[in-house]
Structure 1
Amino acid sequence: MTKILLSLHVLAAIIAVGPVTVAASMFPPAVRRAAVAPPRGAGDGGGGGDADAGTVRLLHRICRVYAGLGIAVPVLGIATAAAMGVLTDAWLLISLVLTAAAAGLLVAFVLPRQEELLEQLADRQPVERAGTARLAMFTGLFNLLWATVTVLMVVRPGSTTGA
């Protein structure tokens, strides 16, 4: 049962967290492109503004949907840790704290700021570079936390498995 839980935990992390980290990282530059692109029919024959705004909406939707699916990662991780008897190991407790911090950043700063920027684009308001830079900073912290958790999952300080 432990191998099944561990496999599901790893798959959930790859399938749920991976898309959020990538889409969230792509979001700030996509907003900057959409903010400067002329809307469809603006005389340039393009329509790049509409396409860029669509990309921004899609990236936000990916972040929202996969963040919800990402709840499976710590749930399966805790079940796996319980099955392995490592629930009180320091590396696991630190990983849980970092996971909670990453989730908190995503819910409190990344997703709401993405929504604000989407509203600014929809209302054709100017998008300040400082706003996208702050979002990029929070996204970078989110990604750094997940990278740290991943390293802890692989290295498992104090592990007796020799891995």
Structure 2
Amino acid sequence: MTKFLLSLHVLAAIIAVGPVAVAASMFPRVLRQAHDASGAGDTSASNQLHLLHRVCRVYAAIGMAVPVFGFATASNLGVLGSAWLITAIALTAVAAAVLMLRILPGQQAALTDLAEPAGTTRIISSTRLAMDTGVFNLLWAVVTVLMIIRPGSTTGA
């Protein structure tokens, strides 16, 4: 049962977190393109932004399965009190907070602002989104490393 839960946990992480990481990373660049093209009446970048935001929202919701399967796996392995796991849980919570409190609202604000005249807030918004996304991705990278190279690992690595 543990191997099955671990497989579900890893698959959920790949399927849910991967698309969010990629779509969120692409959003600031496409946002800059949308600002550059806003006077030309080009809606292609705007359409891409809406799609990227939707991918982030939908896969963030699907991503709720990752900690559910993770807790089930950790419980079966008897490692719920391990320091590496507690650290990974805390970092996962911070990553989720960055996504829910910074990235998704920032994307929504950028989409709302697209119809308004160009201003410096847009560039700051794009830069801030890029920074927040970088933090989100870095947190997930650290969590992944903790999950692979964990203290007391039985893999011999």
TM-score of the alignment, normalized to the shorter chain, above 0.5: yes
| Equivalent-residue separation in structure 2 for 1:125 and 1:28 (angstroms) | 18
Any gaps of 5 or more consecutive residues in structure 1?
none
| Equivalent-residue separation in structure 1 for 2:148 and 2:38 (angstroms) | 47
Map of 2:104 onto structure 1: 111
- What is the CA distance between 1:68 and its match in structure 2? 0.4
1:18-62 deviations in whole A, cap 9, x for unaligned?
0000000000010110111156xx5xxxx6x21110000000000
Q: Report the residue type matching 1:98 in the other structure.
A: L
- What is the CA distance between 1:70 and its match in structure 2? 0.4
Map of 2:26 onto structure 1: 26
Q: In percent, how many aligned pairs have the same letter?
A: 59
| Equivalent-residue separation in structure 1 for 2:62 and 2:99 (angstroms) | 13
Structure 1 range deviating more: 146-155 or 123-132: 123-132
Q: Report the residue type matching 2:10 in the other structure.
A: V
1:59-86 deviations in whole A, cap 9, x for unaligned?
0000000000001001100000001111
Q: Report the residue type matching 2:63 in the other structure.
A: G
| Equivalent-residue separation in structure 2 for 1:74 and 1:54 (angstroms) | 32
The answer as to 2:35 corresponding to 1:81 is no
| Equivalent-residue separation in structure 1 for 2:117 and 2:93 (angstroms) | 34
Q: What aligned pairs does 1:14-163 form with structure 2 within 5 A after superposition?
A: 14-38=14-38, 42=40, 49-121=42-114, 123-126=115-118, 128-163=122-157
Aligned length: 155
